[in-house]
């Protein structure tokens, strides 16, 4: 707590009034665009669902599309922070489809995501909007070089999907291209403004930026500034100016006064930043969610799996590990049995002919 107050109060500089006015003006505009509800009956939605989409949006997703579209129209970037499972990917695709249909803006757009979900983005594009030409950028150095052949030509692709790792490795190629939208999935990956990843992505040529995250606003001033400066560097221009704008009474010692100062700081901070963020929870839209069914299917072990399982359990070291009661030893036994159950080759590899 004391570190937070000190951090927020340190580095105060003159000229904060201009920064304050700039932040307040942008926040006021963004606040006016916030939806008043999660359904079409309790909020005004003027953005039609793009005909390019192959599937129907749920009402809260339609509301999210309208918010994204109006933020774009007002030249504001934002953070879509819906809880995991509510379709942030789908709403992002719907936004790009809206821009293509209503504004004849087909990109190119750049989507950066963790490696584990890059292919999922490609699948969702093919499922929801196959009209987009999608370039999934991955592979070896040679394979990626081949993917870049001709990509400077107009309409060679509409959307490029890649990972945080590769976008940093090949940043020179990405930096030379002018992007319409830069969409960052799991945006907590750029919360550190001192990281190479943050600096690299910040310097890309892009007209608009959209951050996707399943987590709410954090309470770290530095992390919040990293995200907001990345979104709108012209509004949240200076780190020291940002700290000054949100600075509580400086010099407070730890105690009740410091806790009150922290509470005021966080209320002010979240009050300004929240208009740029749209977050819905599953509890808010549960009536729109499909019913969840869970079916438990039991799978018997194959002959080889059963033989490996029984052999491993009969080994002396295995019995000794279980008898010892040591937590790490028991966990190791369970992990070996898990390998047998998932696939026997994980436990006992066989030569490939």
Angle at the Cα of 313 (from 308 to 315), degrees rounded to 5?
Answer: 95
Confidence of residue 255 (pLDDT cuts 50, 70, 90): low
Tell me the β-bridge partners of 110: 160, 182
Confidence of residue 238 (pLDDT cuts 50, 70, 90): low
69, 110, 145, 228, 248 from 208: Cα distances, Å: 12, 10, 26, 13, 32
What's the CATH fold of domain 2-288? Answer: Rossmann fold (3.40.50)
**For 283-310, how does the pLDDT look when each residue is reduced to its tens digit (9 = 90+)?**
888 787 777 788 999 889 999 999 999 9
User: What's residue 1's pLDDT?
Assistant: 28
CA–CA distance, 110 with 313 (Å, rounded to integer): 51
Q: Length of the chain in residues, anyone?
A: 353
Tell me the β-bridge partners of 184: 112, 211
User: What's residue 88's pLDDT?
Assistant: 95
Has residue 258 got a pLDDT over 70?
Answer: no
CA–CA distance, 294 with 22 (Å, rounded to integer): 51
What's the mean pLDDT in 188-192?
80
Contacts of 121 (CB under 8 A, 6+ apart): 89, 111, 113, 136, 161, 185
Looking at every residue in the chain, the average pLDDT score rounds to 83
Instruction: Give the lowest-confidence range in 120-129, 153-162, 267-276, 302-311.
Output: 267-276
Of the two residues 325 and 119, the one the predictor is more confident about is: 119
107, 241, 245, 272 from 21: Cα distances, Å: 33, 12, 10, 12
**For 82-130, how does the pLDDT look when each residue is reduced to its tens digit (9 = 90+)?**
999 899 999 999 999 999 999 999 989 999 999 999 999 999 999 999 9
Write down the domain spans for the chain. Answer: 2-288, 303-347
What's the mean pLDDT in 140-154?
86
């Amino acid at each position: 707590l004391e570190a937070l107050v000190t951090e927020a109060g340190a580095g105060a500089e003159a000229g904060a009034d201009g920064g304050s006015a700039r932040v307040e003006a942008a926040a006021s505009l963004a606040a006016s665009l916030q939806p008043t509800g999660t359904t079409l009956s309790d909020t005004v939605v003027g953005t039609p669902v793009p005909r390019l989409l192959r599937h129907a949006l749920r009402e809260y997703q339609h509301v999210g599309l309208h918010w994204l579209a109006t933020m774009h129209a007002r030249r504001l970037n934002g953070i879509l922070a819906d809880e995991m499972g509510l379709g942030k990917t789908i709403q992002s695709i719907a936004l790009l489809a809206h821009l293509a249909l209503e504004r004849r803006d087909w990109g190119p757009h750049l989507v950066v995501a963790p490696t584990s979900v890059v292919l999922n983005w490609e699948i969702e594009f093919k499922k929801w909007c196959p009209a987009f030409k999608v370039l999934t950028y991955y592979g070896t150095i040679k394979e990626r070089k081949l993917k870049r052949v001709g990509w400077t030509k107009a309409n060679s692709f509409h959307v490029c999907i890649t990972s945080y790792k590769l976008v940093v490795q090949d940043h020179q190629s990405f930096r030379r291209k002018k992007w319409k939208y830069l969409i960052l999935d799991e945006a907590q990956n750029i919360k550190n403004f001192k990281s190479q990843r943050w600096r690299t992505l910040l310097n890309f040529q892009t007209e608009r930026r959209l951050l996707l995250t399943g987590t709410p606003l954090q309470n770290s001033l530095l992390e919040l500034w990293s995200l907001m400066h990345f979104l709108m560097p012209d509004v949240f221009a200076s780190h020291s100016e940002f700290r000054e704008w949100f600075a509580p009474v400086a010099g407070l010692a730890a105690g009740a006064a410091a806790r009150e100062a922290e509470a005021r700081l966080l209320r002010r901070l979240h009050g300004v930043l929240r208009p740029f963020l749209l977050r819905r929870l599953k509890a808010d839209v549960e009536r729109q969610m499909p019913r969840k069914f869970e079916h438990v299917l039991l799978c018997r072990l194959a002959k080889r799996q059963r033989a490996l399982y029984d052999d491993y359990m009969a080994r002396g070291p295995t019995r000794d590990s279980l008898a010892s009661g040591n937590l790490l030893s028991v966990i190791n036994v369970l992990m070996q049995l898990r390998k047998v159950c998932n696939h026997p080759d994980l436990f006992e590899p066989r030569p490939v002919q």
